Structure 1
Amino acid sequence: MDVRHKVLGAFLAAAALVAVTGAVVLQANAAAARDAAVSAAEQVARGISRDVALGLPPDRIGGTTAPLFYNPGALASYLLRQQETQNRDIVVVDRFGRILADAVPDEVGTTFAEDPDGEVAATIEDGRTRLFEERSDDSSEPMLQLVVPILGPTHRVNGAVILEYTQLYDQMMAATKPARRAIMAAVLVCVLLVALLGAAIAASITRRITSLTRAVQVIRDGDYSRRVALKGRDDIARLGHAFDDMAGRLERSAREILAKEYTDSILANAGEGICGVDAGNRITFANAAAGRITGLGVAGVLGADAALILPAADEGEGEGTLHRPDGTTVRVAYTTSTITKNGARLGAVVVLRDVSRQRALERDLRHQALHDGLTGLPNRKLFLDRLAHAMTRARAAGDRVAVLYLDLDGFKKVNDSLGHNAGDQLLRTTAERLVAALRPQDTVARLGGDEFAVLLEDAGEAAVRGLARACLDALNQPFLVRGRTAVVSVSIGIVPDAEQHSDADDVLRDADVAMYAAKAKGKGCYQVFESRMHEELLDRLDSESRLRDAVHRGELRLHVQPVVDLAGGGVAGMEALVRWADPERGLQQPGAFIPLAEETGLIAEIDRWVLFEACRAAADWPDTWVSVNLSAATLDLPDLTDRVAYALSTTGLSPRRLVLELTETVLMRDVTVTSARLEELRELGVRIAIDDFGTGYSSLGYLRDIPVDVLKVDRSFIDGLAGNARQQQLVSAVIQLGHTLGLKVVTEGVETADQLRLLTRMGARYAQGYHLGRPGPVEEQGQLSTNTATVRAGTVNVPDDFV
């Protein structure tokens, strides 16, 4: 049990004692009131007993008295008067217990039966006053009764007087009730005061003892700064003052001890070497780090000549190389501070730091910042720096500087099919081959991805072309990548006169332009930069920018070319074609902007526009289908089926009147994926056509595997048809094959009457070409323009003998 509980327990015991004392006082008060009531009742009862035994006093002097005991009438009158005047309930019985008089007349003559313990009989027997309680069924509270004997003249007990003193007892208790309340209140107040005082004193003592205890624990843990600062003049306060004084002395002593230990620990555990040198340049102090850095240990350093071990002992900072006894060297940065007194040099302090790893790391970081992490070649930043310096030197010396810009053709296919690790291996091998194919003084750099650059100094135009050819030959050889043979080529752009440019970035830009010209030429070759290439590039960028906004600005136009039913002589369908109303260059044919749209990814948005406009226009053409060309990018869209469904539902065009055309090249990229996508489209009800049939991957196999409905024979098979019997047989066979497979066959490029006659004889059903109808715009409400020379109100230029 702690001090607080003990003190609080003592005060609670005192409070309990006060409460017990109060209870005793209350009990004594109640007993005194009861005794007073009994005493008063006994006096009244004895007076009544005398009156009954001896008689009432005479009314006049000299008169005589007669006992009431023997006069029932007088006794009854006497008791009735007591009842009426004093409200006293009195019963008088004789020595045999018979009732002589009672406030209730009916009870007279009966034996008193309300004395279960025989107190009345005992009083008659021995003449002593007694108390008892009378209980009745009429009241839950007992009636307090007092019985006294009736003594005759000879002190013989003749009977007894029974007096109820309940009312008198209640009056006595009522009179003492305020006193009891006062006692109870005083006791309660004293108990509360004692408890509160005990709690306050216990809390005060406990708080100060706890403060001392915590301070002792803190000092035990080594913190000598703790103070308790207790107030007061009692014993605990004096103990606190003594403790604070002791803590202060301990703190001063500990500070003095720790100061030296701390200094020694710092010197011993410092990561930097620290040496003390005296005026004679001898090392008088060295920590463990100094011994480790020099390789001599502390014992080997102490007493040695500083000039033989340390890099220098002059004031200031520097860096040097230390040669250790084991033959190794370490790069050290040092700081020397001279110690002087009164102008005289007493010695110096030399601080050493091993910076070998730091310098190596700095070299690595510089290398990483300027070299490609995969191939180890210089990166773009270092290449541009070397190029700028080479250009400056070439201008001063009148030499030539050339730059080659190389881009691998087919690298993405290898990287996607064999994985990035294979791609990385291919790039490393490419770097090795380029370095081997060039001169030692040439700089080969990797610019990023599969792009490389070569800096050729002091090389004439013939030498530059020869080195470019060497790069082509080196990279045209097959690569062995992860057990597989990969074949790639390289396109090279050349700037042979880099020194004439004002900026290295401009040189690299022009080389890049020339490289793209080489790709456009057919890949696997090199191209020397010409100024027109830059202009063409700017023109291309401008066209791309304007084409991006063409759809949103409403510059696209829908043209259609009729597909003629040779059997009926009418228009069976229309092929939707797109034109660009370029505000700067006028109406552009598809060949002028579709390739650019495919390269930039704009073709999908153009295809969406053509699909919707063609469906909207065809909705007003009765019994005529419309065919729309889809690019490879559009076929790859995951929501292509939803786009087609939306166009059909919005325009109200029947799905059976929509034909989607795809070239053989697009269809054969991935037969499994293509077939699944085309099957989704056919489930909508639209039909699929193979455009330019016979010019791509012509194979009977894909006619079996890919769901198609229409074959469009390419125009190259129709040109020269009239004079070439073998070509006629080929076209006839294709037409018959299509009919056998249940496909519609449309021959494209019909431009002469002779071609039309031959195709009709071969059984061709549908044809398309300038001879039958030129492409023309669609007017509002979907009507064909009357400006189309060979299209008039839905009829076509078909000779009469073919109808």
Structure 2
Amino acid sequence: MDVRHKLLGAFLAAAALVAATGAIVLHADSASAARAAVTAAEQMAGGAAKDIALGLPPARAGQTSVPLFYNPEALASYLDRLHQNQNRDIVVVDRFKRILADAAPEDVGETFTEDSGDEVTHTIEDGKPRIFVEHGDDSPKPMLQVVVPVTGPANIVKGAVILEYTQLYNQMMDASRPARQAIVTAGAICILLVVLLGFVIATSITRRIDSLTRAVQVIRDGDYSRRVALKGRDDLARLGNAFDDMTGRLERSAREILAKEYTDSILANAGEGICGVDADGRITFANAAAGRITGLGVDGLLGEDARGALQVLPDDDLVAGDEDREGTLQRPDGSAVRVAYTISHIGKRGAVVVLRDVSRQRALERDLRHQALHDGLTGLPNRKLFLDRLEHAMTRARAARTELTAVLYLDLDGFKKVNDSLGHNAGDQLLRTTAERLAAALRPQDTVARLGGDEFAVLLEDADRETVEARAQACLDALNQPFLVQGRKAVVSVSIGVVPGVSGYGDADEVLRNADVAMYAAKARGKGCYLLFESHMHEQLLDRLDSESRLRDAVHRGELRLHLQPVVDLIQRKTAGVEALVRWEDPERGLQQPGAFIPLAEETGLITEIDRWVLFEACLAVKQWQDRTPDASPAWVSVNLSAANLDIPDLTDRVAYALATTGLSPHCLVLELTETVLMRDIAVTSARLEELRELGVKIAIDDFGTGYSSLGYLRDIPVDVLKVDRSFITGLEDNPRQQDLVSAVIQLGHTLGLKVVAEGVETEDQLRLLSRMGARYAQGYYLGRPAPADQLSTNTATVRAGTVNVPEDLS
């Protein structure tokens, strides 16, 4: 393609660019109108979502706003007003996309399925507004929809609001149509002018370029006598004059270029030091890089003996052959530099020595080797280096036929809590301090390594059983001391697995695995201790892993069972309430009591899902019972909450959802927490419990008397019920001092206006004593065993436990 065509092509490209710009502007205008419609729709939907979540502004001062989300009639009226006054069609769904309110009332209660991309679910999950197109059977054209989350006071997404904004979009597009027409007209005129101007300029320029091109072709063939005489004062004329000057200089420079080729070939690699050495071993040439590398400078090298100036050179004849070597060169200032050098002979005239500074490269290689074998945080050997040392130690032990080599596997207890609460920097500081304490607690010849996370390992050589156990105890003692992390005291412990006599194992990996198994056994025993590996620990660990796996699926597979235990009113002699208890119908082991799986659930974090299931099922069971037999149903149901639930941000919303979904009155729900859980952080706990009480839910202290038993928290924490632990009821008949204690607790609860429930009543004598002490409520096997809700609600003898077991004189 010649210059003319290129110029024309450039102007045509410019015209195309103008056209593309116009198209972009048109698209941007349309997109802007569409975005404006979406923004307006999101604002409208957001306002509606806020009204639904928080309630309409009060009509009079002093009134409180009532959320519309849980009031179907008010919500339907609100949507009807929006439809009548603003012609806005809105659909409100809950977290499960069940339609709570719609402009079409017949759809209420159905699942919203018109978003093919499941945009409503995504908005509920991440709280971000989205748009989608709905293709409805009742509308010939697609409907544009925007969905926004309905967020409660605790910033928890409760559902979503879906608003149709098709009409708003059409209005925005109609308003921008005149601007688009003006853009099209202006673009067409610009394109026509650009094409015409390009044709004129291309014709003018190409005539003169053709003349210059013909002259260049002559010069290319070696005829430097050709000159170009372009008239004028423009750039092309100046280019012609410069061309003529260049041809004159080319002829003069040709000989100079040939003379410099040899020198240029020597100095091609200017970054490397180059020295020319004659047959007598004297340096006859040196470049600047050689002077810099040796520290002598160019003048300091010229004329010097090569072996004296370049100390790395071999003692044999320099011109004997080519050599590639490396050595350390001492500079005059006392510093040393690592150099790689090459000696190349040049016939009988001497040699060329090429030097390259590799100090940084070798230092980097050393650092990489260290990083590959050491932990970057603590500087300790890492897993790879530890296993290598262990393999060598096992080889030495086998050769010496001794059993004096052992491995300790250490895992910090409570590290995750410090890391999560104080941050990763605090966790890193704790790990560094742990490494220092372990090194101080061990012998100089022992190897301590960080395997990853909060896991460490120790290799002990020449250590008998007594020494091994002493070092393990020393590690325990060193890490049981409080850590000072970012000005705060952090208390952690360590669980240690010990494998003594490693020479009998196949490889280092097997030893480390067994030490890991022993460490897990130490954790299972109670943490903060060490255990020596025994073969049966493998089976115990596998059994635990199997139980954990099956428990994870128990909720989803429907293997959990709800049992209810009656709480009896000793005055009216009938069931006043029930306590919800969970059982696991394990397909392999049958019905499991809570003690068999709740501790595992708490360790693995599954307890929150189990508690959530129990809460919903308990509310549903008691509500159905109340609807079926209002006069013979319990007035409340108690549900236990574990400590992990207080860390869940949406706990209040979970409880509110369970109550709203099942229809159970909040006053019929009692949430039980132990003293230890309540005392973790009184300020946070009090605030969270106050939120729950605002729903109308009551709070009970379970196992009262077994935890802190501080009267102060009864003042600071909002509670409604005290449950006296069964340990105080057991043996009550034969212990007058214990009777006085239980009586004092009952009177204390009544004085504070609390409901007191005595747990673990198993004999008639216990029941008589509690009645004389003024106890109003009691539960236990004597009054009724836990049973499935359907059995309990249909068995009059079990429900009205007092009728069967409570003696008449207790009334």
Query: Which TM-score bucket, shorter chain as reference?
Result: 0.5 to 0.7
- Deviation, structure 1 residue 425: 4.0
The one-letter code sitting in structure 1 at the alignment partner of 2:346 is I
Question: Match for 1:585 among 581, 585, 589?
Answer: 589
Structure 1 residues 661-699: Cα deviation after superposition (integer angstroms, max 9, x where no partner): 111111111112212221221222221111111111211
Which residue is equivalent to 2:287? 287
The one-letter code sitting in structure 1 at the alignment partner of 2:513 is R
- Deviation, structure 1 residue 628: 0.8
Which residue is equivalent to 2:166? none
- Deviation, structure 1 residue 509: 2.7
- Deviation, structure 1 residue 535: 1.5
In structure 2, do the counterparts of structure 1 residues 349 and 738 end up closer, same or farther at CA, with 3 Å as the change threshold? Answer: same
Uncovered stretches (5+) of structure 2, i.e. residues with no partner = 1-197, 216-222
Q: Secondary structure at the match of 1:558?
A: strand
Give the stretch that moved more between structures: 321-330 or 738-747.
321-330
Structure 1 residues 33-82: Cα deviation after superposition (integer angstroms, max 9, x where no partner): xxxxxxxxxxxxxxxxxxxxxxxxxxxxxxxxxxxxxxxxxxxxxxxxxx
Structure 1 position 729 matched with structure 2 position 740? yes
Question: Match for 1:329 among 336, 345, 352?
Answer: 336
**Residues 370-449 of structure 1 aligned to structure 2 (within 5 Å):** 370-400=373-403, 401-412=405-416, 421-449=425-453
In structure 2, do the counterparts of structure 1 residues 784 and 549 end up closer, same or farther at CA, with 3 Å as the change threshold? Answer: farther
Q: Secondary structure at the match of 1:577?
A: strand
- Deviation, structure 1 residue 607: 1.0
CA distance in 2, matches of 1:403, 1:203: 85
Structure 1 position 783 matched with structure 2 position 790? no
The one-letter code sitting in structure 1 at the alignment partner of 2:749 is G
CA distance in 2, matches of 1:204, 1:639: 76
In structure 2, do the counterparts of structure 1 residues 687 and 479 end up closer, same or farther at CA, with 3 Å as the change threshold? Answer: closer
Which residue is equivalent to 1:491? 495
In structure 2, do the counterparts of structure 1 residues 541 and 256 end up closer, same or farther at CA, with 3 Å as the change threshold? Answer: farther
Computed over aligned residues only, the root mean square deviation of the Cα atoms, in angstroms, reads: 3.6
Question: Match for 1:311 among 310, 313, 325?
Answer: 313
Native 8 Å contact 2:228 2:241 kept in 1? no
Which residue is equivalent to 1:367? 370
The one-letter code sitting in structure 1 at the alignment partner of 2:442 is L
Which residue is equivalent to 2:667? 656
In structure 2, do the counterparts of structure 1 residues 710 and 396 end up closer, same or farther at CA, with 3 Å as the change threshold? Answer: same
TM-score (norm 1): 0.67
Q: Secondary structure at the match of 1:758?
A: helix
- Deviation, structure 1 residue 784: 4.8
Percent of pairs with identical residues:
74
Native 8 Å contact 1:268 1:289 kept in 2? no
Which residue is equivalent to 1:695? 706
**Residues 486-565 of structure 1 aligned to structure 2 (within 5 Å):** 487-565=491-569
Which residue is equivalent to 2:64? none
TM-score (norm 2): 0.66
The one-letter code sitting in structure 1 at the alignment partner of 2:249 is L
In structure 2, do the counterparts of structure 1 residues 793 and 692 end up closer, same or farther at CA, with 3 Å as the change threshold? Answer: closer
Structure 1 residues 483-534: Cα deviation after superposition (integer angstroms, max 9, x where no partner): 6655543322211133333332332232223223223333332111222222
Structure 1 position 475 matched with structure 2 position 479? yes
**Residues 603-618 of structure 1 aligned to structure 2 (within 5 Å):** 603-618=607-622
Uncovered stretches (5+) of structure 1, i.e. residues with no partner = 1-198, 217-223
In structure 2, do the counterparts of structure 1 residues 316 and 757 end up closer, same or farther at CA, with 3 Å as the change threshold? Answer: same
CA distance in 1, matches of 2:617, 2:259: 93
- Deviation, structure 1 residue 405: 1.6
- Deviation, structure 1 residue 733: 0.7
Structure 1 position 748 matched with structure 2 position 751? no
In structure 2, do the counterparts of structure 1 residues 523 and 244 end up closer, same or farther at CA, with 3 Å as the change threshold? Answer: closer
In structure 2, do the counterparts of structure 1 residues 201 and 685 end up closer, same or farther at CA, with 3 Å as the change threshold? Answer: closer
**Residues 601-680 of structure 1 aligned to structure 2 (within 5 Å):** 601-619=605-623, 620-621=625-626, 622=630, 623-624=633-634, 625-680=636-691
- Deviation, structure 1 residue 776: 1.2
In structure 2, do the counterparts of structure 1 residues 596 and 230 end up closer, same or farther at CA, with 3 Å as the change threshold? Answer: farther
CA distance in 2, matches of 1:214, 1:699: 102
- Deviation, structure 1 residue 384: 2.0
Which residue is equivalent to 2:806? 798
Structure 1 residues 112-140: Cα deviation after superposition (integer angstroms, max 9, x where no partner): xxxxxxxxxxxxxxxxxxxxxxxxxxxxx
In structure 2, do the counterparts of structure 1 residues 795 and 382 end up closer, same or farther at CA, with 3 Å as the change threshold? Answer: farther
Native 8 Å contact 1:380 1:445 kept in 2? yes
Which residue is equivalent to 2:346? 339
The one-letter code sitting in structure 1 at the alignment partner of 2:275 is C
CA distance in 1, matches of 2:246, 2:665: 102
Question: Match for 2:327 among 317, 320, 324?
Answer: 320
Structure with higher Rg: it is 1
**Residues 183-332 of structure 1 aligned to structure 2 (within 5 Å):** 247-248=246-247, 250-251=249-250, 253-254=252-253, 257=256, 267=267, 270-308=270-308, 309=310, 310-312=312-314, 313=318, 314-332=321-339
CA distance in 1, matches of 2:551, 2:495: 27
Q: Secondary structure at the match of 2:473?
A: helix
Structure 1 position 572 matched with structure 2 position 576? yes
Which residue is equivalent to 2:186? none
The one-letter code sitting in structure 2 at the alignment partner of 1:444 is V
Q: Secondary structure at the match of 1:773?
A: coil
**How many aligned residue pairs are there?**
586
CA distance in 2, matches of 1:583, 1:403: 39
Native 8 Å contact 2:227 2:244 kept in 1? no
Q: Secondary structure at the match of 2:267?
A: helix
CA distance in 2, matches of 1:499, 1:528: 16
Which residue is equivalent to 1:717? 728
- Deviation, structure 1 residue 635: 2.6
The one-letter code sitting in structure 2 at the alignment partner of 1:296 is L
CA distance in 2, matches of 1:801, 1:390: 79
The one-letter code sitting in structure 1 at the alignment partner of 2:327 is G
The one-letter code sitting in structure 1 at the alignment partner of 2:720 is D
The one-letter code sitting in structure 2 at the alignment partner of 1:278 is D
CA distance in 2, matches of 1:727, 1:350: 99
The one-letter code sitting in structure 2 at the alignment partner of 1:297 is G
- Deviation, structure 1 residue 404: 0.9
CA distance in 2, matches of 1:651, 1:259: 98
- Deviation, structure 1 residue 541: 1.0
In structure 2, do the counterparts of structure 1 residues 498 and 208 end up closer, same or farther at CA, with 3 Å as the change threshold? Answer: same
CA distance in 1, matches of 2:227, 2:553: 82
- Deviation, structure 1 residue 375: 2.4
Structure 1 residues 168-201: Cα deviation after superposition (integer angstroms, max 9, x where no partner): xxxxxxxxxxxxxxxxxxxxxxxxxxxxxxx999
CA distance in 1, matches of 2:367, 2:351: 35
Structure 1 residues 327-364: Cα deviation after superposition (integer angstroms, max 9, x where no partner): 43321111222323xxxx44322211111122112112
Native 8 Å contact 1:212 1:240 kept in 2? no
Structure 1 residues 299-336: Cα deviation after superposition (integer angstroms, max 9, x where no partner): 33223333442424441312112233444332111122
Which residue is equivalent to 2:85? none
CA distance in 2, matches of 1:575, 1:242: 105
In structure 2, do the counterparts of structure 1 residues 776 and 738 end up closer, same or farther at CA, with 3 Å as the change threshold? Answer: same
CA distance in 1, matches of 2:294, 2:649: 70
The one-letter code sitting in structure 2 at the alignment partner of 1:773 is G
Which residue is equivalent to 1:456? 460
The one-letter code sitting in structure 2 at the alignment partner of 1:322 is L
The one-letter code sitting in structure 1 at the alignment partner of 2:360 is R
The one-letter code sitting in structure 2 at the alignment partner of 1:611 is L
- Deviation, structure 1 residue 728: 0.5
In structure 2, do the counterparts of structure 1 residues 784 and 507 end up closer, same or farther at CA, with 3 Å as the change threshold? Answer: farther
The one-letter code sitting in structure 2 at the alignment partner of 1:361 is L
Q: Secondary structure at the match of 1:571?
A: strand
Native 8 Å contact 2:482 2:490 kept in 1? yes
